[in-house]
Amino acid sequence: MKLSRRLASAMIACAFIAPASIGLADDYPSRPITIVVPYGAGGTTDLSARQVAAMAEKELGQPVVVENRPGASGTNAMRAVAAAKPDGYTLIATTSSPSFVTPALRPVGYDTLKDFVQILNYSGPYHGVVVKADSPYKSLKDLIEAAKSGTTVSYGTAGAMGGAHLAFTAVANATGAKLQHVPFKGSAATTAAVLGGHVNVALVPAYRDLARDGQLRVLAVLDGTRDPDFADTPTLKEAGYDIEFPSIVGIMAPAGTDPAVTAKLETVLTKVVNSKAFAEFMTKLSQPVRVMSGEELKKTIASNLEAYRKLAKQLGQGN
C-alpha cells in the first residue's frame, strides 16, 4: 500500500512538472535574446551569428541581438555567459578556441562541458595560412626555412593561445623556426594586418575571396582535410606537421537552462541553418555549413578537449 501511495505521489508530481516545463517553452521567448560573440565585429563568426540571429527572430517572434565581447581568445565572453542567468535569454556563438583549445592550455574559469548546454553547431570554417600575394614565400616550407635562417617572420592570429596560435607553436617547436606571434582581436583585424604588411603571415578563416581576387596566397590549411575550393593547397599534416585545428561554430546556453527551452532553440535554429537562405548567405561569406545536433556538438568538444590536452602536454603548456 505504501509503495502504491509513493508511486501515485510521484506520478502526480510528474504531472505538474511536465506541463510547467512545456508551458515555459510555449511562453519563451517573451523578450529579446542576446547572442554573445567572443570576437570583434566584422569577422566570420560575427557575421554568421548575425545572420543566424536575423533569421531566428522571425521564427521566435522576438528580437535576437548580437553582442561582441572580444578578448582573451574568446574566454572572456565564455566566462560571462557561463555566469549569466540560465533563462534562455543569453547565448553564445562559440568556436574551437574558447571551447576546447584554450581550456586545454590554461585555467579559464569555466568548464565547457559542465557550465554550458550545447544547442547546435552550424559551421566550421577552414583556416588558412596566408601571405600577401606579393610575398616572397611561395610555400609553407619557404616561410619556415626563412625563419630558421634568422629572418624575422611574424604571424597574426585572432588571439593568444587560440587554436591557430597553438598550431604554429607546434610547427615552430618541431622545426626550430623563430616565428613571432602577434595576436589581434578577431579574424578581420588579423586579415587587415597581413594585407597591410604589418605581419608576414596570418592564420585566418576569411581568406577565400581575397585569395581568388589575387590579394592573398594560401600556403596551407590548418584543418584535417583540404579546402575543396583550394584543392591544391596542403593541410599542415600533408606539409609534414602532425597537427590539425578542427573548427566549430556553435550555439550554447548556460548550464541549468530549462531543457524545454533549449529543445525549442535547437528546433528553431536547426530549421534556420538548414535553410536555403542560410546556405546562400554562407556561400557568399565563403564559409561552410556544418550542422550538428547539441549532443553531437558536446561529443565533438569532449573528444577535442582530450586531444588538445595531450598536445598541450607535448608542448609543455598544459594546465
Domain locations in the chain? Answer: 2-125+247-314, 128-230
If you average pLDDT over residues 270-294, what whole number do you get? 95
For 191-242, write each residue's pLDDT tens digit.
999 999 999 999 998 898 899 999 999 999 988 889 988 999 999 989 888 8
pLDDT for position 1: 44
Q: Do domains 2-125+247-314 and 128-230 have the same CATH topology?
A: yes
**Helix 276-284 vs helix 44-60: angle between axes, to the nearest 10 degrees?**
160
DSSP letter assigned to residue 123: E
Least confident of 114-118, 133-137, 212-216, 283-287: 283-287
Q: What is the mean pLDDT of the chain?
A: 90
The two beta strands, 33-37 and 116-123, are: unpaired
Q: Do residues 239 and 157 lie in contact, with contact meaning Cβ atoms separated by under 8 Å?
A: no
pLDDT above 90 (res 80): yes
Q: Do residues 99 and 162 lie in contact, with contact meaning Cβ atoms separated by under 8 Å?
A: no
Its pTM stands at 0.75
pLDDT for position 9: 52
Q: Do residues 34 and 272 lie in contact, with contact meaning Cβ atoms separated by under 8 Å?
A: no
For 42-78, write each residue's pLDDT tens digit.
988 999 999 999 999 999 999 999 999 998 889 999 9
What band does 2 get if pLDDT is binned at 50, 70 and 90?
very low
Domain 2-125+247-314 in CATH 1.10.3210.10? The answer is no
Q: Where are the strands (E) in 13-115, listed by range? A: 33-37, 64-68, 90-95
pLDDT for position 290: 93
What band does 318 get if pLDDT is binned at 50, 70 and 90?
low
**Peptide bond connecting 125 to the previous residue in cis, omega within 30 degrees of 0:** no
Least confident of 14-18, 23-27, 224-228, 261-265: 14-18
pLDDT above 90 (res 92): yes
Give Cα separations from 106 to 77, 98, 161, 308 (angstroms).
16, 11, 9, 11
> What CATH number belongs to 128-230?
3.40.190.10
